[in-house]
Homo-oligomer: A and B are copies of this chain.
Amino acid sequence: MLNQAPENVSRIACIGAGPIGGGWAAFFLAQGYQVRSYLHVESEYEALMRLLDTAWSSLEQIGLAEGASRDNFSWTTDLAEAVAEAEFIQESVPEVLELKQELYRTLGDIVDAEVVIASSTSGLSMSDIQAKCSTPERTVVAHPFNPPYLLPLVEMIGGKKTDPCSVEWAQQFYRVAGKVPLVMQKEVPGFIATRLQEAIWREALHMVANGEATVEQIDQAVVNGPGPRWALMGPCEIFHVGGGEGGMAYCLDQFGPALKLPWTRLDAPELTPELRQAMIDGCIEMTRGQDFATLSKKMNDGLVEIAKMKRRQQQQQNE
């Protein structure tokens, strides 16, 4: 039984004050939580304040939750004090396994066993991180995307000793807090978003290395081509819409053979009947039966908004 219903949490401890830990602190403050940050050393304070200033001006524009205030922020370099009253802990210390293992050993002893501890780790597995923790059942991975105060994604998974209820509790907590948590089905290096981003990045490096495109051309190609669509829809829904009335099925049957073409250095999986069906079913389920006209309008309307925003930015820059 965890200490609090996810919707009743009010006090959060953020361990670590770098771009991720500080970004989480800003996010939780804007959502109206009481936030206490643990700083490894006092000298981190100034950079953290600069980060909070930057984040706060963005968060104010988006709109703060009722009761949200920077007055709800406190900090300490005393770990026990940082976590003493916390009902949820977001850990974002450097990606060094030994460091995290020692931290979780300590936290495991000093933090009420009913409080969930979530790690922002992007590359380590919770099974490894929790190895020396005496109360590992409530430890989960919750990997945000930078900056955590502006991008909603949180990729989640437990370790071998994690109680599935803790993952469930944390998922619900993030939803209440306004995040989009995704619970992974398997521990896979890079989770989802980093894998997709890394595929683009490596293809881009190959192109520069081979003199096929310049750095600027790669970026221009993205922001003037697929980039604005990705702000609105993922790659599956984009092709589902691209297939017109026929949706993903039409798209796969039409462009399936292109998976054999050298359009990237990444070999595609075989398009088996099972994979074909999984893609089609997934798109229909995800779009909840919305028809082509509706999805297509959603895409166009969003692209219009992005085009107008970019023009405003351009005009401001020229002023």
Q: Chain A interface (Cβ within 8 Å of chain B)?
A: 19, 54, 58, 61-62, 123, 145-147, 150-153, 155, 180, 182, 184-186, 188-237, 239, 242, 244, 258-259, 261-272, 275, 278-279, 281-283, 285-286, 296-298, 300-309, 311, 313
- A182–B203 Cα gap in the complex (Å)? 18
Q: List B contacts of A198 (CB < 8 A).
A: 258, 263-264, 266
3 closest pairs, A vs B, by CB?
Answer: A219-B234, A215-B282, A190-B263
Are the CB atoms of A301 and B313 closer together than 8 Å? yes
Q: Are B226 and A268 in contact (CB under 8 A)?
A: no
B211 touches A186 (CB 8 A): yes
A278 contacts B220, C-beta separation under 8 Å? no
Q: How far is the CB of A120 from chain B (nearest CB, A)?
A: 14
**When the two chains form the complex, which single residue of B224, B275, B301 contacts A208, counting CB atoms closer than 8 Å?**
B275
Docked CA distance A2–B37 (Å):
66
Q: How far does the alpha carbon of A209 sit from the alpha carbon of B259 in the complex, in Å?
A: 14
State how many copies of this chain the complex holds.
2
With A196-B222, A201-B239, A231-B227 given, is the CB distance from A209 to B151 under 8 Å? no
Residues from chain B with a CB closer than 8 A to the CB of A275 are 205, 208-209
Q: Is the CB of A264 within 8 A of B306?
A: no
Chain B residue with Cβ nearest A144: B225
B150 touches A235 (CB 8 A): no
Contact A279 B221 (CB under 8 A): no
Q: Do B226 and A234 touch (CB < 8 A)?
A: no
User: Which one of B19, B188, B264, B297 lies within 8 Å of A199 (CB-CB)?
Assistant: B264
Question: Closest Cβ of chain B: how far from A313's Cβ, in Å?
Answer: 7
Q: What separation, in Å, do the CA atoms of A207 and B198 have in the docked complex?
A: 14
Q: A225–B153 contact, CB under 8 A? A: yes
